[in-house]
Amino acid sequence: MIQDTLTRLLADAASVAASDLGLDRAEIPTPELLKPRLKEHGDWSSNIALVLAPQVGRAPREVAESLAARIPTDDLILRVEVAGPGFINLFLSDRWLHDLLAEILERGPNYGREQPDGKRVQVEFVSANPTGPLHVGTARNAVLGDSLANVLEAAGYEVEREYYWNDTGTQMELLGASVEARYLQLFGVEAEVPEGGYQGEYLRDLAEAVERLRQAGYAYDADGAVWFRSTDFGDDKDRVLIRRTGEPTYFAKDCAYLLDKASRGFDRMVYVWGADHHGDVKRVLGAAQVLGIDPTRVQIVLYQLVAGQAAVDGQSRLLRAVRACPGGEPAPSRLRARGSPAFMEGGELLPAGARIGAEPPEEVG
């Protein structure tokens, strides 16, 4: 690419000028290229002289003139100018465009793709609430998540796509019992749709996550529940991990999911969440830090849903498409569905338990 060529020419010029400037070649940084806002400032510009000037004790403009004199002008670089306090402006011919077209034709669909670098990243997306219908927001999440995964693959990452199937907890228990009751009623069998909740059992990895938070001093007991000190990480209040009923919250599952992902050796963990989960970001990143996971490895992408009649029409079309899918498989085959326990965050690239639709209000009991 043209940027690589220009960076190399600037680095070569700095290396040639090193002896005259009293510069140690080993201390020459990789030149940075800038795109000028005004065409009269060139096609590309560099501040390399301003970076080197303090190292050699000379004025930036003097350093820039020394480097500019050593950048060859030819049918690629038409001219080199020093501007302002010491910027080097480069003016190019159209040759680089011709060379680029030739490279694109030669590489075909592999153009722009980096070679695999051995780094692994997981992108979790969709992860729709299994107790509710799919809607247009689900489809948007799928498009965003899969596109992001494609970009990361092109950048050289080994990418694993994951769909978090949250099939544990009260909602799923009530859904199953409700479906059973309605089914029995169809055959004239007296059955009632259940009310109230169910006491879920501690999952081993979930219990491990809570215990690690407790040992680190960030989980405590109060009002019969177990809480996380999320206010230490900028949250507006501490959050419940385990309700007084013994049932874990979504957040507790997110903590366990963080450990699960980290144990699988991913260099980066990307979550695609609806904007209604923006409040989860600080607490999940805080939990990652407490659990010994570098928060910079956890990246959260938030997106907005679409409102209006178009969204309603889109939802209907999506549901018709899902029903028409062979075998009732609405998710792309590339998505790796994980059963329980599995767990799917800022502008950034968001963490675990991504869900379409809001979680019920947080309750202690």
pLDDT, tens digit, for every residue of 325-337? 444 333 333 333 3
The yes-or-no verdict on residue 270 having pLDDT over 80 is yes
Of residues 110, 107, 106, 144, the one with CA closest to residue 125: 144
Domain count within the chain: 2
Residue 79 sits in the same domain as residue 155: no
The yes-or-no verdict on residue 292 having pLDDT over 90 is yes
Residue 67 sits in the same domain as residue 155: no
Residue 62 sits in the same domain as residue 144: no
* Domain presence at residue 365: no
Portion of the chain with pLDDT greater than 70, in percent: 70
The residue-averaged pLDDT of 97-124 equals 88
Q: Higher-confidence residue: 171 or 162?
A: 162
Query: How far apart, in whole angstroms, are the C-alpha atoms of residue 149 and residue 122?
Result: 8
Q: Higher-confidence residue: 14 or 169?
A: 14
Residue 21 sits in the same domain as residue 162: no
Q: Which domain holds residue 283?
A: 120-168+203-338
Split at pLDDT 50, 70, 90, the class of 252 is confident
| CATH code, domain with 28 | 3.30.1360.70
Residue 27 sits in the same domain as residue 128: no
The residue-averaged pLDDT of 26-49 equals 92
* Domain presence at residue 29: yes
Q: Most confidently modeled of 12-26, 295-309, 316-330?
A: 12-26
pLDDT at 51: 93
Residue 85 sits in the same domain as residue 139: no
Residues 199-234 have pLDDT tens digits of 333 346 777 888 899 899 999 999 988 899 999 999
Residues of 181-217 as b/e, b for ≥16 C-beta within 10 angstroms? eeeeeeeeeebeeeeebbebeebebbeebbebbeeee
* Domain presence at residue 189: no
Of residues 21, 14, 31, 24, the one with CA closest to residue 67: 14
* Domain presence at residue 230: yes
Query: How far apart, in whole angstroms, are the C-alpha atoms of residue 120 and residue 342?
Result: 18
pLDDT at 171: 64
Give residues with Cβ within 8 angstroms of 198, minimum separation 6.
170, 173, 174, 247
DSSP letter (8 states) at residue 349: -
Q: What is the largest CA-CA distance in the chain?
A: 97
DSSP letter (8 states) at residue 131: T
Query: How far apart, in whole angstroms, are the C-alpha atoms of residue 16 and residue 66?
Result: 10
- Is-contact 224 365, C-beta < 8 A? yes
Cα separation values, 261 from 86, 127, 234, 298, Å: 48, 15, 24, 10
Q: Read out DSSP for 57-90? A: TS-HHHHHHHHHTTS--SSSEEEEEEETTTEEEE
Query: How far apart, in whole angstroms, are the C-alpha atoms of residue 34 and residue 32?
Result: 7
pLDDT at 184: 62
* Domain presence at residue 192: no
* Domain presence at residue 262: yes
Residue 28 sits in the same domain as residue 155: no
The residue-averaged pLDDT of 188-201 equals 54
The yes-or-no verdict on residue 112 having pLDDT over 90 is no
Residue 144 sits in the same domain as residue 284: yes
* Domain presence at residue 37: yes
Residue 87 sits in the same domain as residue 159: no
Which pair of structure tokens corresponds to residue 132?
């509710």
Portion of the chain with pLDDT greater than 90, in percent: 38
Q: Helices (DSSP H) in 276-348: which residue ranges? A: 281-290, 309-324
Of residues 328, 306, 310, 307, the one with CA closest to residue 319: 328
Split at pLDDT 50, 70, 90, the class of 243 is confident
* Domain presence at residue 6: yes
- Domain boundary, last residue among 95, 128, 158: 95
Of 88-97, 254-263, 323-332, the range with the lowest mean pLDDT is 323-332
| Cα 34 from chain centre | 26
- Is-contact 255 287, C-beta < 8 A? yes
Residues 332-356 have pLDDT tens digits of 333 333 333 222 233 333 333 333 3
pLDDT at 352: 34
pLDDT averaged over the chain? 77
Of residues 237, 290, 248, 268, the one with CA closest to residue 345: 268
Q: What is the pTM of this model?
A: 0.53
Cα separation values, 107 from 76, 97, 99, 169, 213, Å: 22, 15, 12, 50, 50
Which pair of structure tokens corresponds to residue 271?
């979550």
Residue 260 sits in the same domain as residue 133: yes
Residue 282 sits in the same domain as residue 329: yes
Residue 9 sits in the same domain as residue 152: no
